[in-house]
Every structure is written in C-alpha cells, then in structure tokens.
Amino acid sequence: MKDNEIIDKIKGSLKNKIAEITNPAARRIFLKVDKENLLSAIQYLKELGFVHLSTISGVDKGDVFEILYHFANESCVVNIRITTPRNAPKIPSICAIIAGAILYERELQDMFGLIVEDIPDPRPLVLPDDWPVGAYPLRKDWKFERPPEIIPGEE
C-alpha cells in the first residue's frame, strides 16, 4: 500500500476525528488525534493491518505532554500523536487492542508520571525500587543532582 492510499483510507474512515495528518517523508505518516479518539484510531489502524506497535514515545512540551504511538507494517510507519495537559496527565491504555503495549505504557508511567487509565499492570518497570516517589526523570523540569561527595575523616 502506498502512503497516499493509507492516508486516503484513514481520512475516509476516521473523518472528523483527525486533527491533522501529514506525510513528511516516504513511509512516514504522522496522525494527530484527540485523546478521546485514540482508541478508535488504533482500532481502525489495526484493521488496516498495522498490528505491530514499535514503541510509544513521550515528549515533555511544557504545558502538555505529547505521546506518540509508532505503528509499523511492511509498507509504512504510522505515528499517532496525542497530547495530554500537564496538570491532568491521563491517557487511556491501549493494551486491550494491542497486548504488546504493556511495557511501553509502564515505561511512560515511570518516566513521565503519566497515569495510564485501565492499565492491566500498573507496577513500576524501568526505575529502581528505591526511586523517590514523584520524581519523573524525563520531564524537563527534573534535573539530576549528584549527591555531595563525602570523604570519611575530612571536615
């Protein structure tokens, strides 16, 4: 399937649920939808043959978090983009549709402090057990401070 055929099909099916659809490079489609329409967009993509979720990327954009779901099949990579406000960072879980998304959603919760609603397994995944609560390393306002070096026996 060519890129423009995929775009036409997505446009024909999702219609006004699409906020923006671009094709910046060959085999790369960026589809922006509202958070509420995420599940129906992913359901449609799955029917279209995009069954492989490569990963989920999060980006801290200040007032909002941007989340990208990278789907790939043999002809194209479709990236679904949603945003969620910083003060209410909630996104729906897509595990019911794509079972393999679980580790990526757990990673998002750890690294960005997003709340993935209805996630089948909400436990921490990538950060250590003694990691402080409420510290989300990939948020831009989180800065790493090296603990002061204490040399025993010195003042």
Partner 1 sequence: MSSNRMDNGAEFKVPIGPQHPALKEPISLRMTFEGEIIKDADLRLGYNHRGIEKLAEQKNYIQNLYLIERICGICSHSHTTCYAQGVEKLMGIEPTRRGLYIRTLVAELERVHSHLLWLGVAGHEAGFDTFFMYTWRDREVVMDILEIISGNRVHYAMNTFGGVRRDIDEQQKKKILGSLDLLIKRTDYYKKIGTTEPTFVARLAGVGKLPKEKAIALCAVGPTLRASDVPRDVRKDDPYAVYDEIPFDVCTANTCDVLGRTVVRIKELFECYKMIEYLLKNLPSGEIRVKAPRKVKEGEVVSRYEAPRGENIHYIKSNGTDKPERLKVRAPTLANYPATIEMLKKGFIADIPLIFAAIDPCICCAERMIQLVDTRNGQEKVMRMSDLRKWSLEYYKKNSIDSKNKEAIWPF
Biggest alpha carbon distance in the chain? 73
Asked if 32 touches partner 1 (CB under 8 A), the answer is no
Q: Are the CB atoms for 31 and 48 separated by under 8 Å?
A: no
Minimum CB distance to partner 1, residue 115 (Å): 19
Q: Which is nearer to partner 1, 12 or 144 (CB)?
A: 144
Q: For residue 64, what is the enclosing H or E element?
A: strand 64-72
Q: Which is nearer to partner 1, 12 or 101 (CB)?
A: 101
Asked if 64 touches partner 1 (CB under 8 A), the answer is no
64-72: strand order across its sheet = 18-25, 28-33, 77-85, 64-72, 52-60
From 7-15, 35-43, 84-92, 97-105, span contacting partner 1 (CB under 8 A): 97-105
Give the dihedral sign, CA 119/122/127/131.
Answer: positive
Q: Which of 74, 145, 149, 154 binds partner 1 (CB under 8 A)?
A: 74
Asked if 102 touches partner 1 (CB under 8 A), the answer is yes
Q: Which of 1, 19, 96, 126 binds partner 1 (CB under 8 A)?
A: 126
Q: Which of 35, 40, 57, 115 binds partner 1 (CB under 8 A)?
A: 57
Q: For residue 57, what is the enclosing H or E element?
A: strand 52-60
Q: Which of 137, 110, 138 is nearest to 122 (CA)?
A: 110
Residues forming the site for partner 1 (CB under 8 A): 24-25, 27-28, 51-55, 57-60, 68, 70, 72-75, 77, 79, 98-104, 110-111, 123-129, 131, 137-138, 142, 144
